[in-house]
Amino acid sequence: MRLPAPFRTTPFRLTLMFLAVFLVAAAALLIYIYAVTAGEVTRRADQEITAEMRSLQTVYRQGGITALNQELIERTADERPYLYVLTHQNGVRITGTILTPPEFAGGETGFREFTVTDTDPNGALTRQPARGEQVILPTGERLIVGVDIGSSEFFVVKIVRALQGAAALMLLLGLAGGLLVSRNVSRAMAGLNAVVAAVRGGDLHARARVRGARDEFDELAEGLNDMLDRLERSMAGLRHAGDAIAHDLRSPLTRLRARLEVALLEVEAGKGDPKAGLAQALEDADGVLRTFSAVLAIARLQAAGPAPDPATFDPAEMAADVAELYEPVCEEKGLEFRAELTPKLVARGNREFIAQAVANLLDNAVKYTPAGGAVVLRVRRRSTGEVEFSVTDTGPGVPESERARITQRFVRLENSRNLPGAGLGLSLVAAVAESHRGRLEIDEGPGALGGSGPGLRVALVLPRAG
């Protein structure tokens, strides 16, 4: 038979498990309390009986059986809380408060429990538990001294029953608490499951409700919401990337096809230079491949999380290698190029990725800086211990309102549409910064210089090594 939903939840099962553990512990506690209490009752009774028995034995040694008999009569008259009986060797009662002497086997001495028959004020017979000690006197008589332990045992039973009632109450309260916790957990999980179902159905705008309790369910809801936010941004980025790729690659692919078609027609007509057409087509194909390579590199960085294969290296040495490649490019375009590299610094990360990022920064600076301008590459340590790679140029710059956009994939400003590129250079640099737990800073350059400016300063900042 299938149980109702609240009884099938994990919290309720955990509650049952803890209740089972509690019941076992409670049972062990009851046994312990009963054993200790009953043992204490027996120990105190034996102490009282022993003291009384020694007192009577002293009387016997001093005055014999007659003095002992007289003493028992007097003590019985004093209504002491003891039970007495003195019998002959054959068991016939001589005196005492016990009308029917308990049966001690043969010459048995020591302590034992027995039952005393008495009458209550209404004349009804009662049987009370008692504990006593028998001693055989030198003249053969038998002396039994005991105490009534009925009230003590009744007290022990009441304690045990009270503990049993408390355990039963705890069991009921535990079951009720388990149902309450199970219901609350089910409500919280139902909201999360509804969000998951909505997302599985294609609704990426669904979000889990954060109750403000700051418990693990709120943490789970916040984590789920953050994951969905990232997923939504990623999906939006993929849609935007697809649209941008289709838009930006349409022209080079169309141009590539047209040039191949023209080259084919010219070859068939016996005129034109087929090698030049193929070379141009190859150059266009290389541009398309570079675009896809950049998109693939960004995707790999973002998917990998932390940068793979990190190592410690000298950032000035690495930047000098990159600068050596771009110095002749700047000279050819008529740009002043300067590298200010602080030696003996230490950076940690993927050297190839960081070198590619610095190369992208230099490539952008050279591309957008007009002839007669300047490009400066700097490597330095900040006061915080961070290592900074910065490239400053005297090009047209980027308006402050647009600086957050230019790190997105395929984003190109209007003044750069006529220049080669796919708008992926700074996107790759931003991905490298994120994978190294660093950041990308974009600021205004040095200002107008020779009619150009205000320029742009882009810095890749890496965290302190170690």
Domains 10-155 and 216-304 share a fold: no
Peptide bond into 396 cis (omega under 30): no
Residue 388 banded pLDDT, cuts 50, 70, 90:
very high
CA angle 115, 35, 160 (to 5 degrees): 85
Residue 316 banded pLDDT, cuts 50, 70, 90:
very high
pLDDT at residue 192 tops 50? yes
> What is 216-304's CATH number?
1.10.287
| Helices 150-200 and 216-269, packing angle to 10 deg | 20
pLDDT of 414: 45
Query: What is the pTM (predicted TM-score) of this model?
Result: 0.45
Among 351, 394, 388, smallest CA distance to 376 is for 394
CA distance 271 to 443: 53
Query: Which tens digits make up the pLDDT trace of 257-285?
Result: 777 787 778 777 777 676 777 777 777 77
**Can you point out the beta strands (E) in 120-203?**
125-136, 142-148
What mean pLDDT value characterizes the chain?
A: 77
Averaged pLDDT, 378-404: 85
pLDDT of 89: 79
| Cβ-count burial 62-95 (b if 16+ within 10 Å, e if not) | eeebeebbebbeebeeeeeebbbbbbeeeeeebe
pLDDT at residue 3 tops 90? no
**Cβ atoms of 191 and 224 closer than 8 Å:** no
pLDDT of 406: 65
How many alpha carbons fall within 13 Å on the CB side of residue 306? Answer: 6
CA angle 216, 218, 224 (to 5 degrees): 100
* Domain assignments of the chain as residue spans, ordered by start: 10-155, 216-304, 311-462
Averaged pLDDT, 204-219: 77
Mention the CATH class of domain 311-462: alpha beta
pLDDT at residue 419 tops 50? no
Among 337, 326, 331, 388, smallest CA distance to 359 is for 326
Residue with tokens 């669904």: 206
- The CATH number for 10-155, chosen from 3.40.1260.10, 3.30.450.20, 3.40.50.2300, 3.20.20.70, is 3.30.450.20
Among 219, 240, 160, 202, smallest CA distance to 405 is for 240
Residue 238 banded pLDDT, cuts 50, 70, 90:
low
Alpha carbon distances (Å) from 229 to 26, 204, 330 = 50, 8, 43
